[in-house]
Structure 1
């Protein structure tokens, strides 16, 4: 299967469709409200969606699907591989990748600390009354001193009858399409900014660079590298994503939609592929880092620390040029 390499014309229609959907969602939210209300009412019926572990399991499922699809494309489309193009050799041998059965330990290492937090910390979301948050954490309704602030952690009240945080209290009302679009966009922008500084520290601080070295340990970047992380960095990535959602008070449905978008972006920049429909082709020229820029970062490790966009990296280079001048 061959894919076009010039994205200028092939992304015109997707850009138009995406622009119409986002534009109407922001400026005419009433068009989508009935659908969002029914979707939210549907989700609230399921105990699995109300479970405290839902977001962790949802992330693992989405990652497995997205990474597998990118890995298949990487293996079966050598003409898209950035390393093969650079060497002008489509027969360039594939890097050594792990088979699914050998990745169980990696999956458990990823899931274990997140499940631990899910089962011990109370979930707090905008639109949920403090009464429901308190009850979900197994506290008496008259308990005082529990903050409903999204950023203030609160441990579950452990008892023999309720040894773990099993459920999360959810808002009764669905968000508007305007809220969804704005919260998704803003959360990605916040994450892009905070991870830029975290990533810069991973390269510049010796104690952290040793942890980050495992992420750059490869002969050619490929989709599986996305999750080739030290446990400290993996937790940092997840916690920063949560911070980006919490700091703006995202609706739970926003969080649910954030996961596939976030995972897709992460795998895409680590794909080692130059695809006609990459997100960097969909966005206006110069906005997105994309797989090419991130591949350059993995090869040299000296610049392009920003994950999804270019603005912070460009600002850092501008500041460095100013100091040199």
Structure 2
């Protein structure tokens, strides 16, 4: 586990990445708030008002109600989109989901790189401005892309993807070939209700699996040093840190995310939408900003965690092991407090 009394001061990146340390303990203290008495760590202050939060929640509630009223319209749109997608060669390829993750990760990362230069958004920061500034050469960018794509592409090539709605005869025929190039896609589009349910359940399943794996990566030093340390070797958390992972750790988490979809027989269209939701949450958790209009604020009750909690996790290496739900971390706190009370 990384040191708990200071912020990491070196980034173990590729030799091609130039790093500059611009943060001191004094500057860091300007971005933290009240002490968390349970674990003795500092948490960032919230940078939005109650009125901002109320407006965001009202807009979110009205948007959900509008979607409910227009459910049939959305279903027609889904049917039309699926009719188009299933005939496209780039959607039929077995590598589509792997490549989609890579391609989609750039726009939100680029977005945070832009607002990082706009002073208006400084009030929403939980991560100090500046911090680790680094530039990547084209060689580094290509290396990271290949490091992500290659192992998953091998799995895509050798594995027959079996989706609900595709007959067994088609799957048996595809299994006669060792090399897979295209996916057998179902003829019909999914129902809107199935999309919502499958994505929601998949996130819940992944959150549980992520918590268990993530907690153990921190609990056991050999696992931390071998697989997880790379993800915590930075000075200030930012969107670029999202994919700063050991390749084995990355594959384990990706397969865990896929498991939640697989057990439900999720439609390929649902899986595509899940990629957008999944990557967006990952990048937001690491972005270093705490906006009032993000999912962890829009739903009351402290059900979801977000960038604020994940920032604390990266800063101190304790708590907040979850992907997005808070109940497991709260349960862990409760168990640890009981153990402490029994010892007393």
The TM-score bracket by the shorter chain reads: 0.7 to 0.9
Runs (5+) with no aligned partner, structure 2:
1-46
| Cα deviation, residue 22, structure 1 | 5.6
8 Å CA contact 1:136, 1:168 repeated in 2: no
CA distance in 2, matches of 1:16, 1:121: 42
**Residue 19 of structure 1 corresponds to which residue in structure 2?**
64
CA distance in 2, matches of 1:97, 1:254: 36
User: Residue 116 in 1 paired to residue 154 in 2?
Assistant: yes
TM-score by length of 1: 0.83
CA distance in 1, matches of 2:299, 2:165: 32
User: Residue 170 in 1 paired to residue 207 in 2?
Assistant: no
User: Residue 95 in 1 paired to residue 112 in 2?
Assistant: no
| Cα deviation, residue 96, structure 1 | 1.9
8 Å CA contact 2:242, 2:282 repeated in 1: yes
| Cα deviation, residue 111, structure 1 | 0.8
CA distance in 1, matches of 2:241, 2:210: 17
**Residue 190 of structure 1 corresponds to which residue in structure 2?**
205
**Residue 38 of structure 1 corresponds to which residue in structure 2?**
80
**Residue 136 of structure 1 corresponds to which residue in structure 2?**
174
Counterpart selection for 2:89 from 25, 42, 47? 47
CA distance in 2, matches of 1:98, 1:193: 35
**Residue 111 of structure 2 corresponds to which residue in structure 1?**
69
8 Å CA contact 2:295, 2:304 repeated in 1: yes
Counterpart selection for 2:295 from 279, 289, 301? 279
| Cα deviation, residue 60, structure 1 | 0.8
| Cα deviation, residue 23, structure 1 | 4.1
What SS does the corresponding residue of 2:276 show, helix, strand or coil?
A: helix
User: Residue 5 in 1 paired to residue 48 in 2?
Assistant: yes
8 Å CA contact 2:237, 2:311 repeated in 1: yes
Residues 184-231 of structure 1 show CA distances to partners (whole Å, capped at 9, x for unaligned) of: 111111111111001011111222101201111111111111000001
CA distance in 2, matches of 1:275, 1:117: 37
